[in-house]
Structure 1
Amino acid sequence: MLKVVLLLTLWALVQPKSVPRHKRMTVCYDALGCFSTKYPFFSLQRPLSFVPESPSFINPDFTLFTQQNVNNGDVLHTTDVTALKSSHFNAHRPTKVIVHGYLENGKASWLTHMKNEFLKTNDFNVIIVGWGKGSLPPYTQATANTRVVGAMIAQLIKTIQKTTGAQPETFHIIGHSLGAHIAGYAGERIQHVGRISGLDPAEPYYQNTDIRVRLDPSDALFVDVIHTDGQSILKLGYGMKQTCGHVDYFPNGGMTQPGCDKGPITSIKLEGLYDGVKNFVACSHLRSHYLFIESINSRCSFDAYQCNSYDDFEFGKCMPCNGKACGHMGFHADKVKPARGLKHVKYFLKTSGDGPFCRYHYKVQLSFGSQFGARAERGDMFVNLIGKTGQTGELTLNKDHMYVQPGMSYNFVVTSVKDIGDITNVEFRWHHNSALLNPLSWNLLNFRHPRLYLNKVNVVNGHTSNQYTLCGHSGGVENGHKDRLSIGAHTC
C-alpha cells in the first residue's frame, strides 16, 4: 500500500499531458495580460514550463461570506459590478481571501472551517477562492495555472476597490501550498496589499527560483509564512524550507510534524479512505492550515522564538526573548513585525501531534554539582514543573541516553498544554542506563547506587519571560528516585 501511494503521488507531480503545451512560449488573456514560459518561469528548477490554461477553462469561483450570510455565500465575478453591489460585501470591514492548493477545490472542508473561525472572531468579508479545475494533474500544468488564478484574484480586488472604495491595506490573502504562490502573484499586481499568509508554500517548481516565480516579501506589506513540511520532495516533502516572508515560522523545525507517523491503515481507520490516504501522504504539509485555523480563536497564542536554527532553539539559546517580543505564529503574527527593511526573520516553536496543537514553552536548565563522590552517569532525566495554576506532568528531557557530567549545566525546552502560572516546585527524576561498552558505568547486581547531584534548576516561562531559580540539596538524587525542589527552600 505504501509503495503504491508513493508512486501515485510522484506520478501526479510529473505526468505530462498528451499535448506538449510547454512548447508554446507565450499566451495572452485580455485584461490579465500575457504569460510566457521563458525565464524565470523556465529554469533548472522548472525544466518543463507550460503556459497557463485559459481563465474560462480554469473558471475559478469566488464566494463571499460575512456574519450576515455565514452559510449561504454570495457568488462574485472578477469584473461583475452588479453582483458585487448586490452582495454582502462591506468596504468598512477587513477582507480575508482564502486559496487552496493542488488537487483540491473550493469545497475542501478546511476552507469552510477557516471561514467559520474568522467569522467567529470578527465581521470580516471572507472570500473563498476555488480553482479546482485548474489544480488537477499534471502538477506542471497546475503550477502554470496558478499565475492566471493569482491574476484573477488581483482583478477581483481591483474591481472591489474601484466599486466600493476598499483600501488594499485591508486585504489579507491566505494561501496553502500552491495557493501561497497564487497569493504572491495576486499581491505583486496590487500595490500595498496589507498581508499575505503562506501556509507551507509548495516546494516543487518554486524553491530557489527567482522571486518573480514564488511568494516573497515584496508581494505584500507584511508576509508571514508557516513551514511544516520542508523535507526534500524525494522524501515526499511538499513544502518549502527556504525562507520567503518577512517572518518565517518553523514549528517543530519545519521539516516533519509530530503525529504524522501513522501508517496508511491506521490513517484510513481513523479518517476514512479519502482523508486517511490524503493525510498519510501529506500530513505534515496539511498541518500548516490546521495550525493557522486553531490560532484564530485560541487562548494559547502560539508563542514562537526568534532563533538562528531549531537546534539552537532546542538547546534553550533563544529563551527568553532577550528584550524582543516573541512572535505569534498564525492569525496573530501581525502583532509582531520586524523593523522596516528586515525580512526572513526565523521563529521556532513546538506544537503537539494532535489538536489542540498550541503549547506553552518552558526553558529548563539543570546545574549539577561536583562534590566528592560525584561522577559522570548515563541515563535519562525527567521533570514535572508545578505552578500556582497547575502542573505539566512528568516530561522527558533528553531524546537519547546522555552522560551527565559533574559541574556542568544542561538546557532543555519543554512544553505544557496549559499555562501553569508562577513556578513553585520542580520534581526531578532520572533513570540510570549503563553503556554496554563502558564497564565503569555498569551496576551489576545493584552493587552501586548511582546518584546525580542536582544543585540548581532554573526555569524560564516562555510566555511571560518570568524566571525562577530552585536550589537543590547536597544529598544527591539516587537512580529511580524523585527529588522535589521548592522555591526558597534551600540556598544555592
Structure 2
Amino acid sequence: MHWDGLSEMTPKQTYLCTGSLAADKKPESICFEELGCFSDDGPFNTPQRPITSLPNTPEEINTQFLLYSKETPSEFTLLDYHDEDQLRQSSFNSSQETKIIIHGYRSFPDKPWVHRLVEEFYKHDDFNVMSVDWMNGSFVNYPAACSNGRVVGVQISLLLKALRKAFGEPNLQFHLIGHSMGAHVAGYVGEKVQIKRITALDPSGPYFESTDTAVRLDPTDATFVDAIHTDSGTALDFGLGMRQSIGHIDFFPNGGKFQPGCPHNKFPATIVGGIVGWLNNITLKESVKTTFLCSHKRSEFLFVESINTPCSFTTYECNSEADLHSGKCVHTDSATGRLGYHADKALGRGRHMLETFDAAPFCAYHYQVNISGLTTINGFIYLTLHGTNGKSESIDITGHNKLLTPHDHFVTSMKGRVNIGELKSVEVKYVETDSLIGFLFNDEWELESLTVFAGTTQKLSHFCVKGAKVVSQTSQKFDVMSECP
C-alpha cells in the first residue's frame, strides 16, 4: 500500500475538509489527532466502491489491544500505546516474536477460533500473542467498516512503534494474522511500519478486489505475505473472498471457491435476505450465517490446524480447479509450498492449490492415480496404499458408479489421511454397481495398468497388474515394480 492519505496533526484535533467553501459539499477527508487525515477520494472512490464513507471517530471505534498470557491464555491485559511505562510493565517479552490477530467485519476477538489460535501458538513456542478488538468499528454498514479499518491500521502501527521504542528494540518482529477485512487492516499497518509477515485468511473481496494497492493488502506490506483464499467465488456466487493473488504465495484450497462440506449454492432467498441484512448492520439468523460464511471461515480452521499438525499441508503450483482434481498439479517442476503457519519455511511462491478433507483434520496426503482395465466395468474402485510407515485407509477414488470401458484410463487425484512414508504396495478393490443394470457387467475386472504418483515425494510408482482379475467385493495387492515383464 502506498496511499499517502495521512498528514501530521497536532494532538486533540479532529476536523473535516471539503476541499472547497461550498456549504453543501460532502466532506472528502477527516482528521484525527495523531492518526492523521483520511480521504474518501482518489483510490478509495472507484467503481469497485460505489458507496464511499469517511471513518468513524477513534472514540466510536474504540480499538483495544489484548495481550494474552501463556500461563492463562483465556485472560488478557489491555495495552495503551500512549503509556510507555504500562507497556514495559506488561508481560510483553521483547526477546520473543509477536503474533497479532485481527478480526474482520462484524466480528470480535472472543471467538472460538481466536481462542484456539492463541492456544496453538503457545503450544508451538514462546510468543507474545495479541489480538486487536475493533468490534465497534466493524459492527456498522460495510462501506463504513472498510473506512474504519484504515483508522485501526494506523492505530496498530502506533502500538508497534511504541513497543519498539519502549523496549529499545527497533527490530522487534511482528507477524499479523488478519481474517476477512482484518487482512486489509494488516496491510494498512504494513504501509506505516516494517512488518516481518502478514497472513491473510480469506481476505475480503467486496470493495477490495481489483483496487489500487493503496486500498488492499499487497506484497509490499510485509517481508512475506501469504494468503489463504477459501471463498473466492464471483459476485453471482456471493463469494466473500478475493479471487486475485495478493501475496508472495496465494493458496486456493480445493480451488478456492467452495470448500468441502460447505454449501455450493448461497443463492436461495433466505441467503439473499441474509446478505442484505449483513451489509446493513442487521443480525443474521444463525442458519443463514452458517450457510453463508462456511467457506469464508474455513480459512480460519485451516490456519489453526496447520500450526502443530504433523501433516505438512503440501501445496502445488496450479492454475485451475480441473487440473487440481485430476491430480495434474501434483506433478510439478516448481517448488512445493506449505499452506498455513509454515508457509514461510517452504520455497513455493505464486498461485498454489491443494485438496483438503471436509472436516477436521483437514490436511491430506496427495496422490495421482492412473488406472485402466481390459474389461468393461460399472462400479466403485477403492485403493489402500501400503508404505514404510504403515497403510492408508481404503480410499474411494471414483466417488460414484464409474463406467470404464477397455483401455479407458481413469486419471484422478486421491487424498489420504495417513502418512504412509514411501509407497511399497497397493490393494485394489472393485465393487460392482448394485443398480438394475448391474447384470450387464461381469462381476470381475481384468486390469491393464496402474501407476500412483505421490505428491509429497514427487515419485511415480508402477505396478504390474496386466491380466490380473479383481472379483467384485474382493481386493488384490500389488507391489511396486521397477519394470514389468
Where does 1:220-235 land on structure 2 (aligned, <5 Å)?
220-235=222-237
Name the counterpart of 1:18.
Answer: none
Name the counterpart of 2:14.
Answer: none
Q: CA contact under 8 A between 2:79 and 2:87: conserved in structure 1?
A: yes
2:367 aligned to which of 362, 366, 382: 362
In the alignment, structure 1 residue 143 sits paired with structure 2 residue 146: yes
Q: CA contact under 8 A between 1:92 and 1:166: conserved in structure 2?
A: no
Q: CA contact under 8 A between 1:378 and 1:434: conserved in structure 2?
A: no
Matched AA of 1:221: T
- Cα 1:356–1:448, aligned 2, differ >3 Å: closer, same or farther? closer
Displacement, 1:389? 3.5
Name the counterpart of 1:424.
Answer: 424
Name the counterpart of 1:90.
Answer: 93
Displacement, 1:481? 5.2
Q: CA contact under 8 A between 1:66 and 1:123: conserved in structure 2?
A: no
Q: Aligned partners of 2:74, 2:470: CA distance in 1, in Å? A: 60
Q: Aligned partners of 2:237, 2:369: CA distance in 1, in Å? A: 34
Displacement, 1:148? 0.5
Q: Aligned partners of 1:274, 1:312: CA distance in 2, in Å? A: 37
Name the counterpart of 2:320.
Answer: 309
- Cα 1:243–1:399, aligned 2, differ >3 Å: closer, same or farther? farther
Give the 3-state SS of the residue equivalent to 1:140 in structure 2: helix
- Cα 1:166–1:453, aligned 2, differ >3 Å: closer, same or farther? farther
Q: Aligned partners of 1:174, 1:299: CA distance in 2, in Å? A: 21
2:80 aligned to which of 77, 80, 85: 77
| Structure 2 gaps, min length 5 | 1-23, 267-283
1:108 aligned to which of 99, 111, 135: 111
Name the counterpart of 2:15.
Answer: none
Displacement, 1:278? 3.3
Q: CA contact under 8 A between 2:35 and 2:155: conserved in structure 1?
A: yes
| Cα-Cα RMSD | 3.0
Name the counterpart of 1:390.
Answer: 390
Q: Aligned partners of 2:167, 2:441: CA distance in 1, in Å? A: 80
Displacement, 1:95? 0.7
Q: CA contact under 8 A between 1:146 and 1:178: conserved in structure 2?
A: yes
Name the counterpart of 2:219.
Answer: 217
Matched AA of 1:353: D
Matched AA of 1:472: V
1:166 aligned to which of 143, 164, 169: 169
Q: TM-score, normalised by structure 2?
A: 0.84
Q: CA contact under 8 A between 1:226 and 1:329: conserved in structure 2?
A: yes
Name the counterpart of 1:10.
Answer: none
Q: Which moved more, 1:42-51 or 1:228-237?
A: 228-237
In the alignment, structure 1 residue 246 sits paired with structure 2 residue 239: no
Give the 3-state SS of the residue equivalent to 1:487 in structure 2: strand
1:269-318 superposed Cα distances (whole Å, 9 cap, x missing partner): xxxx9866533331111111111111111111111112222221222222
- Cα 1:79–1:326, aligned 2, differ >3 Å: closer, same or farther? same
Q: CA contact under 8 A between 2:367 and 2:414: conserved in structure 1?
A: yes
In the alignment, structure 1 residue 30 sits paired with structure 2 residue 41: no
In the alignment, structure 1 residue 61 sits paired with structure 2 residue 61: no
2:341 aligned to which of 323, 331, 340: 331
Q: CA contact under 8 A between 1:203 and 1:233: conserved in structure 2?
A: no
Q: Aligned partners of 1:301, 1:140: CA distance in 2, in Å? A: 38
Q: CA contact under 8 A between 2:120 and 2:308: conserved in structure 1?
A: yes
Q: CA contact under 8 A between 2:303 and 2:341: conserved in structure 1?
A: yes
Give the 3-state SS of the residue equivalent to 1:158 in structure 2: helix
| Structure 1 gaps, min length 5 | 1-20, 265-272, 369-373, 437-441
Give the 3-state SS of the residue equivalent to 1:40 in structure 2: helix
Q: Which moved more, 1:202-211 or 1:59-68?
A: 59-68
Q: TM-score, normalised by structure 1?
A: 0.82
Name the counterpart of 1:457.
Answer: 450
Displacement, 1:43? 0.9
2:476 aligned to which of 468, 476, 483: 483
Q: Aligned partners of 1:379, 1:169: CA distance in 2, in Å? A: 59
Name the counterpart of 2:3.
Answer: none
- Cα 1:144–1:53, aligned 2, differ >3 Å: closer, same or farther? same
Q: Aligned partners of 2:468, 2:364: CA distance in 1, in Å? A: 34
Name the counterpart of 1:349.
Answer: 354
Q: Which moved more, 1:233-242 or 1:449-458?
A: 449-458
1:280 aligned to which of 263, 266, 291: 291
In the alignment, structure 1 residue 189 sits paired with structure 2 residue 200: no
Displacement, 1:452? 4.5
Matched AA of 2:340: G
- Cα 1:195–1:258, aligned 2, differ >3 Å: closer, same or farther? same
Q: Aligned partners of 2:391, 2:339: CA distance in 1, in Å? A: 24
- Cα 1:168–1:409, aligned 2, differ >3 Å: closer, same or farther? farther
1:49 aligned to which of 49, 52, 62: 52
Report how many aligned residue pairs link the two structures: 445
Q: Aligned partners of 1:62, 1:48: CA distance in 2, in Å? A: 30
Give the 3-state SS of the residue equivalent to 1:334 in structure 2: helix
In the alignment, structure 1 residue 156 sits paired with structure 2 residue 159: yes
1:398-434 superposed Cα distances (whole Å, 9 cap, x missing partner): 3565553544544322111121233333222345669
